[in-house]
Amino acid sequence: MKIDIHKVALKAGVSIATVSRALNNSDLVKPDTKAKIQKIVDELNYIPNPIARSLSKQSTETIGVVLPDLVGEFFMDFIHSIDEEAYKRNWHVLISSSHSQRNLIETLMELMGSGRVDGVILMAPQIQDGIFEIISKSKTPVILVNTCGDFNGTNQIKIDNFKGAYDIVEHLIKVHNYKKIGMINGPKGNCDAEERFAGYLSALKKNKINRDPSLIVNGGFDVDTGCIGFTTLMNQKIKPDAIFAANDMMALGAYETAKELGIKIPDDVAIAGFDDIYLSQFLTPRLTTVHVPIYDLGSKAVKYLLAAINRDKKRQRHFEVLPTEIVIGSSCGCKH
């Protein structure tokens, strides 16, 4: 038999209002009464129905997380950190990835319009038209994760793609004296990709190396396009002496292809990546890459979102760029 607040009230000899107050730790309830009620609650193993509470309070204590389509090990850590942070505060996490079948917009609208969650963490490196309209029209607080640009009034948290890329390319230039640094770019329109590319260009410029369009190829952040990109770069007359892949997955593709073609890393060509995915430490040679503070990203996203929910007007907004850090392996030519 399902036990509800009435049963507790009956057994405790008080009204349901008092039970409710006691459980919400209102100081309108006498300590004695609280204790008495708590005893009954424990006895009966009563758990208040969160759905009813949500309806009444008009808040769900649940945050929604919307993820992009492609998911990798990266995201598990992200979710884990979100869950951890949410748990600490007794909040819940509703997951929703956008699928081939449905687009981000749809997912987002449904989540935000429905009242199923009090706020949304939206990871959207590939921002689509219409998203801002939805966000700004809605009263549901949102925090954008890894989204390009600075959208006024919207909470944002992201990683420092630019500086990470800048630093690692500068490492290739200054420490190793490479002159022909190729790049396998990420997908068009992807924020992370664009910022990393900008960092690459900037490092070249600051170090007075001319940008050579033949050394820049496009990729899609996956292994296959890494293979293709690497092949393209290495089949040209002017071969690069180092290649910066915009993420580790593409660097991995480069490794694979290098092995097949008998090209030695870093002797024939140096490689650097971005993300520091778990896998990269096990590559031979260890990949030089950029570490991304993924745990921090998740837990801060939760903190800022809850702050936004609690102050309920979106007055003061959060905008933060988390630092990235280069991780030196031997794929760049460093000895270990």
**Residue 75 touches which member of DNA, a copy of itself, none, C-beta under 5-8 Å by kind:** a copy of itself
Find out whether 331 and 265 touch, Cβ atoms under 8 Å: yes
**Three-state SS letters, 201-268:** HHHHHHCCCCCCHHHEECCCCCHHHHHHHHHHHHCCCCCCCEEEECCHHHHHHHHHHHHHHCCCCCCC
Q: Which is nearer to a copy of itself, 4 or 320 (CB)?
A: 4
Residue 133: which of 159, 163, 153 has the closest Cα?
153
**Residue 1 touches which member of a copy of itself, DNA, none, C-beta under 5-8 Å by kind:** none
**Residue 132 touches which member of a copy of itself, DNA, none, C-beta under 5-8 Å by kind:** none
Find out whether 289 and 251 touch, Cβ atoms under 8 Å: yes
**Binding test (CB under 7 A) with DNA, winner from 28, 35, 71, 175:** 28
Q: Which is nearer to DNA, 8 or 159 (CB)?
A: 8
Is residue 5 involved in binding DNA (CB under 7 A)? Answer: yes
CB of 255 to a copy of itself, least distance (A): 7
CB of 111 to DNA, least distance (A): 15
Find out whether 112 and 134 touch, Cβ atoms under 8 Å: yes
| Cα–Cα distance for residue pair 124/143, rounded to 1 Å | 10
Residue 187: which of 221, 216, 214, 160 has the closest Cα?
221
CB of 49 to DNA, least distance (A): 3
CB of 80 to a copy of itself, least distance (A): 5
What single letter denotes the amino acid at residue 61?
Answer: E
**Residue 96 touches which member of DNA, a copy of itself, none, C-beta under 5-8 Å by kind:** a copy of itself
- Residues contributing to the site for a copy of itself (CB under 8 A): 45, 47, 49-52, 54-55, 60, 62, 71-73, 75-77, 79-80, 83-84, 87-88, 92-97, 99, 101-102, 110, 113-116, 252, 255-256, 259, 278-279, 282-284
CB of 72 to a copy of itself, least distance (A): 7
CB of 336 to DNA, least distance (A): 58
| Cα–Cα distance for residue pair 302/82, rounded to 1 Å | 6
Residue 181: which of 229, 240, 247, 231 has the closest Cα?
240
- Residues interacting with DNA, by CB under 7 A? 2, 4-6, 13-18, 20-21, 23-24, 27-33, 46, 48-49, 52-53, 55-58
